[in-house]
Structure 1
Amino acid sequence: MVLFRSFVCLLVLYLLQGSDTSFVRLNNNGYEGIIIAINPGVPENEALIEKIKDMVTAASTYLFEATERRFFFKNVSILIPDTWKEKPQYKRPKHESYTHADVLVAPPTLPDRDEPYTKQFKPCEEKGEYIHFTPDVVLGKKQNEYGPTDRLLVHEWAHLRWGVFDEYNDDEPFYSASSKRIEATRHDHLHFLQCSTGITGVNRVYKCQGNSCVFNKCKIDPKTKLYEKNCQFFPDKDQTEKTSIMFMQGITSVVKFCNKQNHNEEAPSLQNKKCEFRSTWEVISNSEDFKNTTPMVESPPSPVFSLLRIRDRILCLVLDKSGSMGGYNRLNRMNQAAKYFLLQAVQNGTWVGMVHFDSTANIKSKLIQIISTNERNMLVNSLPTAASGGTSICAGIKAAFQ
């Protein structure tokens, strides 16, 4: 009985953590438990679901080849908002929620700004929080600007899962190389080892006035000795270079990450600045994912998708107030965990009830929907204040189901 109660206490504490941690796990080279959530503000569009499936399926193959047959996407849950109509194929989520999503499909953070990004504020090698795609990007309406969605997903997945950074720098697009040449900020090794410098193109200033746009040659700024502020690197349409995914994954020929042999430590890229001048492949190779896998011989299966529609979440706190909770500060510690859960972790819209038990059970609060701090404080005020009596866990669980 003591062991069982210890297990229940540990389970309750785990559930009370209310963490936003991802549920992704690596199993036999395949990533499982991936959650792609559609924001409630996105208008209903079944084509969006199909495009998500297409994106992930193609990205799985691209990821597999880019990581030398090591990783692929095994299963994915697509979380559909309750603002969309119910359909028979939509199942009820178990533990999946918007706060645990790995990829968010949501309106632009800023109006008319569709740039894909990964929320990534931690140091090199640390996982990011989530990937953000707008519906227009997923639907393929922005392919001219950002490239195919499957390649975008692999680029952002490298940020999210392995903590690598971009091999470019919008704030420092050019630098003066040791060769005395002005180079675009890319992860290459100047033309000698052919990483990203194998990508050919021109440096131009793109100017528009009215309906007329022109490309002008870049001038050198006499102060910085670099190209003028608005100068950009424009890649040629036809390429043969295979690297690098963290520089220009949208180019058809690009299928690999830069490695130690072809990495350029001179470029003022975010990857160099954040990762101590290591290549992206060095960082990926040092990850736990890489260390715990070996390359596959067979080709991986296609991803499996689950369609889950968000519904009202219902839960009940079953709290032990029996005499044994009086020792070792147990009652106070349980209340602290429950208070944190009620005030900070549980999402608005959730229905929450509360049961106390000793030798019998007592329903302290019927289900109430969390709308504001008022409901949260009401439940906090219902937490047990004293420990006494015998112990009947079964009575508590029965009352919770009522």
Structure 2
Amino acid sequence: MRFLAMCTALAAATALTGCSQLAGSAGGTQKVTLWLMKGSASEEFIAKFTSSFEKEHPGVDLEVKIQEWTGIGEKVNAVLAGKSAESADVIEVGNTQVAQYIETGGLSELTLEGLREWGSKDWLKGLSDPASIDGAQYGVPWYAANRVVIYNKDLFANAGIKTPPKNRQEWIQATQKLDKGDRQGIYLPGQNWYVLSGFIWDEGGDLAVETGGEWVGTLDDDKALAGMEFYKQLQALGDGPKNADEETPPQSEVFAGGDVGQIIAPPGQASAIEAANPALKGKLGFFPVPGKTSDKPGAVFTGGSDLIIPERTKHRRQAVDVISALVSETWQTELARTMSYVPNKATLAHVVDGNEGAASMAPGAAQGRATPKSARWAEVEGKNPIKPYMTAVLTGQDPKQAAKTASDTISKVLSSDR
């Protein structure tokens, strides 16, 4: 807001010359640094974007630095606090990480730019909500990815299933048909809490809520318990381990065996499945996680990235220009098609219509959510009381009691002093 006030005053004093022109009035080339995370964009995309941006913004030298996810939190916090030997003008961060950086401080507010320049009213809420607090926006959605159902087309055909299910009842019925003999209707490990989150949201529940300034775990709420009950019903239609997550063993390897009808995973796992079993190439299909009714798909956990601008940047106008380009329809389309992502707006979902996997993500992304926007949620995931809670329910323990134990742990972590 201080910047906006200064910009207004300067513009008035220079006959509305504009802050972007003022920033470069001293002449010479200005280096603007963009941090992107490893794997978020291809080398080809980065090269094309950099060349195009520099051509459209004479005098700007755009430097793109690739960062590793491991240890990125400390690096970003150091930049925001001005305690790093490195600098960055725009930084890509995970959508669920923004709350932590908001609490730490040092982020530039981007509310007005979002409204005036970037069409924030159309942003996917799973990307935008975690990046805002009290109506102020600090992170700008860049791209999304979420889970879908990957299925074996041959097994579906052999079971007489002609079209993918569109609601929970149809999904259960189809999975029951698939779950015969040595075949598994679905491989759903007992501790896939990302999938559980979607079922809980569909029921109107949540993992935790903020009440009177305090965060409280809510897994023992009746609506959240209903989500867990559906998870239990679906999980029973396969042989997924009740005490392990989707990486133990990697579910793509299990599916590659050819005797599993479905898994719930990002569509990008299809490549790993086909690599493990080339005979399945061309035999994989995708559909959105079904909702309670056929009129809309189920809620899903939305992963992806937001873009932030450090308050300490000396090139704020140019940083805004970088974001303006990255979220433009041109480069959103390029990124989505290159990387099989979902664009940052539901209104751009059509750009991935030719990509079956990405297109199956888009309807779910429109219903997508993210984890509670507490700066301490990462600590909850570190302890992760949700996983043993799920195992407890799946192995016959009292759901209400197990949920209360997990909720108490979540409340303690989110509300305790650091």
Shorter-chain TM-score tier = under 0.3
Structure ranking higher on relative contact order (CA contacts 8 Å, 6+ apart): 2
- Which of these two proteins has the greater Rg computed from alpha carbons? 1
Given the two structures, how large is their TM-score scaled by the length of structure 1? 0.25
Normalized per residue, the structure richer in strand is: 1
Given the two structures, how large is their TM-score scaled by the length of structure 2? 0.24
